[in-house]
Amino acid sequence: MKAANTLPVNAEHKAAALPATPEKINVIDEDVCLPVAIVKAKALDNNIRWMQRYAASSGVSLAPHGKTTMTPAIFRRQVEAGAWGIGVGTAFQAKVAIEAGVPNIIMANQLVGKANIRLVSQLMKHSAVPIYCCVDSETNARQLSDYFASQGQKMRVLLELGVSGGRCGCRTEEEAYALAALIRQLPGLTLSGIEFYEGVIHSDDEQADLATIDAFLKRVLTVTQRLAADGAFADVNEALLTGAGSVWYDVVCRQLKQAELPTGFRYVIRPGCYITHDRGVYQQAQDALRARDPLSCDLGGDLASALELVACVQSLPEPGLAILGFGKRDVAFDTGLPQPIALYRDGKKLPFEADSAHTENLMDQHAMLRYGKGLTLKVGDLLVFGTSHPCITFDKWKTIYLVDEDYSVLESMETAF
């Protein structure tokens, strides 16, 4: 077979930097292939420190959900700022977190599949970093125990509690008590705490959601209190009680503060999308949180949108319609389309009103932008877009650039999806 051609071109990913001069790389000067996803360093640092202050003020530990970014450079910043650990969803994500120097790992998911189980076992053999996974069924518990016991290991497991119609987790207290009793008898497992996720409770009725979450958290605490009283966590020096996503973390923290659990518990919250925040669903969630939670206002400051997309005007095929050079392969579109927030021409920022243009559709590599008569666009102009739901943007990029306020590149951050 004929070998593929290898070109002597330094372009390892779709946003490769090809600066005219090597001294500085600037996105607005088009020193990188466009489109490009960037993270503003100032906003990133603000968000990391704000959430760390919130956790500390609430008396809980922080294990941000790393699947949002899967970016080791960001994991390291979170840990350096005081995060107790990182939350992950898969065995591979746990490996990435260990390699990034994370001190504790919560796999907020079931560990299922022979190769996945073998990978976690190997990680445990070569690293002292504690890894926790969730269990919600007798079958999975026995599978895990059989394998880890055969390796002379004990897997730290968290009993997961869930809600009807939600994701994983025991649905009744009786199921939870029976499973906890079984786990304690299995030689390859150590019952190390309780895990829950309230984020699946979300509708257009905030008050109804709050009532449902309150009832769920009371059930979580009831189960935890009974198991603690029965000595279910006697085999660990510290048991975890962990939950909270990026929408209801204030409600979880308030309930945990009021919990009357014995000493020896560590409360851990796991929000993820706060890290870059957004200009869509998580901005709306944060606005609602600040309206109901005095602590979030008393801390000073707030979360800020850090993740942006920069793209070229590619075509102006008809009046009022611009085609931008990005699409579904580049940015999240599941909870609202990316919208323009700034305009640049020949490296200079031009006046731009947010309501003067609107993204109305995305295709694989094209965005369709409608704009009014008050806005003049030219082919080659750069538009900066704010996004909604950062997870779905991060996973479309091998490299994301950390930039300053002038869009000069400070660091190339590799993702690990």
Q: For residue 345, what is the enclosing H or E element?
A: strand 339-345
User: What average pLDDT does the segment 249-267 reach?
Assistant: 93
Q: How confident is the model at residue 283 (pLDDT cuts 50, 70, 90)?
A: very high
Please say whether the dihedral angle defined by the alpha carbons of residues 89, 91, 93 and 97, taken in this order, is positive or negative: positive
Predicted local distance difference test score (pLDDT) of residue 3: 55
- Tell whether the model's pLDDT for residue 1 goes beyond 60: no
**Residue 2 pLDDT more than 80?**
no
Q: What span, in angstroms and rounded, lies between the C-alpha atoms of 163 and 140? A: 19
Task: Tell me the mean pLDDT in the region 198-207.
Answer: 92
Confidence at 20, pLDDT banded by 50, 70, 90:
confident
The CATH number that domain 14-41+277-416 falls under is 2.40.37.20
User: What pLDDT, on a 0 to 100 scale, did the predictor assign at position 23?
Assistant: 82
Q: Average pLDDT of the chain?
A: 96
Q: Report the distance separating Cα 309 and Cα 327, nearest Å.
A: 11
Taking the C-alpha atoms of residue 354 and residue 394, their distance in angstroms, rounded to an integer, is 24
pLDDT value of position 113: 97
What are 297-350's pLDDT values in tens digits? Answer: 999 999 999 999 999 999 999 999 999 999 999 999 999 999 999 999 999 999
Q: Is CATH 3.20.20.10 the right assignment for the domain spanning 104-271? A: yes
- The answer to whether the beta carbons of residues 162 and 220 sit under 8 Å apart is no
Confidence of residue 68 (pLDDT cuts 50, 70, 90): very high
- Per domain, the residue ranges of the chain are 14-41+277-416, 104-271
Q: What is the DSSP string of 107-173?
A: EEEE--SHHHHHHHHHHHHH----EEEEE--HHHHHHHHHHHHHTT--EEEEEEE--TTSSSSBSSH
Please tell me the distance from the alpha carbon of residue 48 to that of residue 81, in angstroms, as a whole number. Answer: 7
Cα angle 265, 271, 273; round to 5 = 170
3-state secondary structure of 393: helix
pLDDT band at 8 (very low <50, low <70, confident <90, very high): low
Predicted pLDDT at 11: 83
Give pLDDT, residue 90.
98
Full-model pTM:
0.95
And the tokens for 113? 């599949």
Find the helix or strand (DSSP H, E) in which 75 lies: helix 72-80
> Among candidates 57, 52, 270, which has minimal Cα distance to 158?
270
Predicted pLDDT of residue 263 = 87
156: amino acid identity, one letter:
R
C-alpha closest to that of 87 among 268, 250, 251, 232: 268
State the pLDDT at residue 21.
Answer: 82
Pairwise pLDDT comparison (258 vs 151), residue with the higher score: 151
Confidence of residue 355 (pLDDT cuts 50, 70, 90): very high
pLDDT digits (tens, 9 = 90+) for 216-234: 999 999 999 999 999 999 9
Task: Check for a shared fold between 14-41+277-416 and 104-271.
Answer: no
